[in-house]
Chains A and B, each alone.
Chain A
Amino acid sequence: MNKNEFLKHREEVVVTGIERITRESIKPRISEVGGTIIILQRNAKDDRRLDSEDIGALEAEAAEQTFLHAREFFDKIFEGMDDKERETIDVMIIAGDTTLITPDGIKSYHKRAVETASQVIAGLKESMAKFSLREQQLLNTAASPDGGVIEVSELRDLLMLEKSPEFVKFLIDKYGTGVKFWDAYESDAERETRLQMGAEGPDEIADRVNYALSLHAQIAEEYHQANPGRRLIVWAVSHYDSISPFIKKYIVGMEMSSYLPVDQGAGITISIDKTGKATTTIQDQELILNEQ
């Protein structure tokens, strides 16, 4: 593996047949001892109704689905292990700490990735109780003051909405705040202006998510060194605009200007064995993500 990149940009590898990322790609996998499973998930659907009293909060149905999906995921993992093996599993739940900001002026204190991850924790806790896992096997219990979601900066949504108001205004003036705005942003149609104004684009976001996954792999490596004999699951929740470009650039080698939908609550599973080899399976295609 290249020491400076978790995954390499897949310029020379093009994986065909992957047109949409769904929940099916979040696959319950059991790692070997010393191995790590990383889930990278898009946030669940949040309430964008302008007349809503709780704009930006997860919709009740989406929250429930996230909870049930996570519980089923962990049930399947724990079912596939005997009591002794279950004692070797640790889980940490991470999310980007973005609050909601949209080009059309919506601002909310709600953090939809964190709220999605909270539902994952709730599902996990039920499953842990069912299979008699210890509370400490959820590493969040000791990691954060309230035992909740581990919030991290590198999984944030579009940084331009917060940090580059000049470029956002430029796009709004030219394309409005609707679909055309997002098409222009995602296809990087105004790349030259964007670079002049120092705004982060899809290519840089893909690199940022790759850095985030590299960081999770580093955390796992350090964790395994300090705690031998364990298996680790890192469940990381981010956003469409960070996950889609990452998968295009680093997983399937698609054109960055093309469209790759990622359903709400969907994502991918990356397995890292104890030698550092990373693999994923999307739509029944098993992909080796790095070279050893």
Chain B
Amino acid sequence: MNKQLLNYFGYGTNRTLDMMAAIIGRKEIEGIYGKLLGFELCIQKIDDIPDKILQTAPFPSSPRKIISECFNNDFELYIIRPREKAITYGIIWKITQQEYELVRDWELLEFGMQEDVKAVAIDAKGKIINVITHGSLSSKMPMDRVVEGNDYEDYLVPKKDILEVAEKSRKEYLERISE
């Protein structure tokens, strides 16, 4: 079973079990503490989110527009970008490829809000782990502020609100791909 699972590095709100359960629809997920090396954790405000409509998007809308329709203008999100010597703290979750597709949908990768990142993390025992996650590969990505250390706030949006939107979004995605 484990051979078929990916090492997904969840950071920001995705390091919490409740958020992951809402995104992938499974509550029992194996996870261990990990550090993602060479990436800094940033917070974007609504104006930092891309407003371009990609030709490859599942439907014609920009990430900023989609976010604006679901949340208010105070919305903020966690994202990573490359920076030498930086560390982002999170959880290395064991999930399937299909579950990672749900994460990709939630993070609007097909709409260009973020991109796939393959990287190296290190766990609490000093073991090296090849992880997949999402973020920006540009060190110039627009952002509001950088978050240092492990003791950061899990939820930037009221927990109840974001979990509800994630549950709804997962159901819509599953309906969309079954059509």
Contact = CB atoms under 8 A, between A and B. Distances in A.
Contacts of A144: 7, 129-130
Interface string A119-161: 0000000000000000000011011111000111110000100
Nearest to B39: A215
B104 interface: no
A139 B7 CA distance: 15
Interface stretch (A54-62, A178-186, A223-231): A223-231
A92 B128 contact: yes
Interface stretch (A2-10, A63-71, A255-263): A2-10
Interface in B2-40: 2-7, 35, 37-38
B85 A218 contact: yes
Contacts of B119: 152-154
Contact of B128 (A4, A6, A146, A223): A223
B55 to A, nearest CB: 10
B109 to A, nearest CB: 13
Q: Is the interface on chain B under 10, 10 to 19, 20 to 34, or 35 or more residues? A: 20 to 34
B143 interface: no
B5 to A, nearest CB: 6
Contact of B118 (A92, A153, A218): A153
A202 B37 CA distance: 25
A159 B4 CA distance: 29
A214 B139 CA distance: 14
A219 B128 contact: yes
Contact of B126 (A143, A146, A153, A222): A222
Interface in A91-134: 92, 94, 97
A226 B118 contact: no
Identify whether the interface residues of B are mostly helix, strand, loop, or mixed.
strand
B142 interface: no
Contacts of B37: 215, 218-219, 222
Interface in A1-33: 3-6
B128 A145 contact: no
B176 interface: no
Nearest to B86: A218
A175 interface: no
A226 B38 contact: no
Interface in B102-157: 116-120, 122, 125-130, 137, 139
B84 interface: yes
Given A145-B5, A151-B118, A218 B38 contact: yes
Give the residue among B116, B120, B129 with the most A Cβ atoms within 10 A.
B120
Contact of B82 (A5, A211, A223): A211
Interface in A197-231: 211, 214-215, 218-219, 222-223, 225-227
Contact of A153 (B4, B6, B116, B122): B116
B125 A226 contact: yes
A94 to B, nearest CB: 8
A227 B124 CA distance: 11
B38 A145 contact: no
Given A154-B137, A211-B82, A218-B37, A223 B126 contact: yes
A226 B139 CA distance: 28
B38 A211 contact: yes
A154 to B, nearest CB: 7
Contacts of A215: 37-38, 84, 120
A97 B118 contact: yes
Nearest to A230: B126
A291 to B, nearest CB: 16
A129 B167 CA distance: 50
A150 B37 CA distance: 14
Contact of B130 (A4, A150, A159, A214): A150
A11 to B, nearest CB: 19
Given A219-B37, A226-B125, A226-B126, 15 more contacts: A142-B128, A143-B120, A143-B127, A143-B129, A143-B130, A145-B5, A150-B128, A151-B130, A153-B118, A154-B82, A211-B84, A211-B139, A218-B37, A222-B126, A227-B126
Interface of B: 2-7, 35, 37-38, 82, 84-85, 116-120, 122, 125-130, 137, 139
Interface of A: 3-6, 92, 94, 97, 139-140, 142-146, 150-154, 159, 211, 214-215, 218-219, 222-223, 225-227
Q: Lowest 3 A-B CB distances belong to which pairs?
A: A226-B126, A215-B38, A144-B130
